[in-house]
Amino acid sequence: MHFNNQKILPAAKSIREFEKLMKTKFEYIILLDCHVAQLQALMSLANRHRKKVLLHVDLIQGLRSDEYAAEFLCQTIKPAGLISTRTPVVSVAKKKSLIAIQRIFLLDTHALETSYRLLQSFKPDYIEVLPGIIPHIIKEVSENTGVPVLAGGLIRTIGEVEEAIQAGAVAATTSSENIWRSIK
């Protein structure tokens, strides 16, 4: 069971959104934008509310997105997982037994083929496919890699979440508060 069967992974773009998510039923949440100096306080807040945080390493201000940053985050901040477009970061998360999510942007066929080559040498726990509104590509990535897929990017409606899930995504990541609120 992926993310305790949570089909939506809400992604907070700000501290205010992160704080709002503390009052929701979501167990797993994604922190997109923050400053490195805020991380410990935010993780303490999440821990008090029994939330499991997936940190998007590439968007942490004041922290270079590399394997040294990943080591720091794993050892000091201790999130539930790391998300990155950079394989060395995701590899460190996997080695440290955190949830390792490789984010891939599917701009064209070349990007898709490059991602497949990359994923032959490294198997993250999850692949986040962006944009997440292309069901047939979600299905293809899932089948070709054997790695569970998250659908992310440009997801604006519950219908799009459902289409992504039907195509084989285990969950959808979204920063749309309207979608978060629609989940009872």
Q: What is the pLDDT of residue 1?
A: 76
Domain boundaries, the chain: 7-182
From the CB of residue 46, how many other CB atoms can be counted at a distance below 10 Å? 19
Torsion region of 124: left, alpha or beta (phi above 0 gives left; psi -120 to 50 gives alpha): beta
Residues 6+ positions from 17 with CB-CB distance below 8 Å: 175, 177
Residues of the chain scoring pLDDT < 50: none
- Which pair of tokens denotes residue 134? 């292309």
pLDDT in tens, 43-77: 999 999 999 999 999 999 999 999 999 999 999 99
C-alpha–C-alpha distance, residues 58 and 69, integer Å? 10
| pTM for this prediction | 0.97
Determine the pLDDT at residue 140: 96
CATH topology of domain 7-182: TIM Barrel (3.20.20)
- pLDDT digits 0-9 by tens, 9-25: 999 999 999 999 999 99
pLDDT at 184: 57
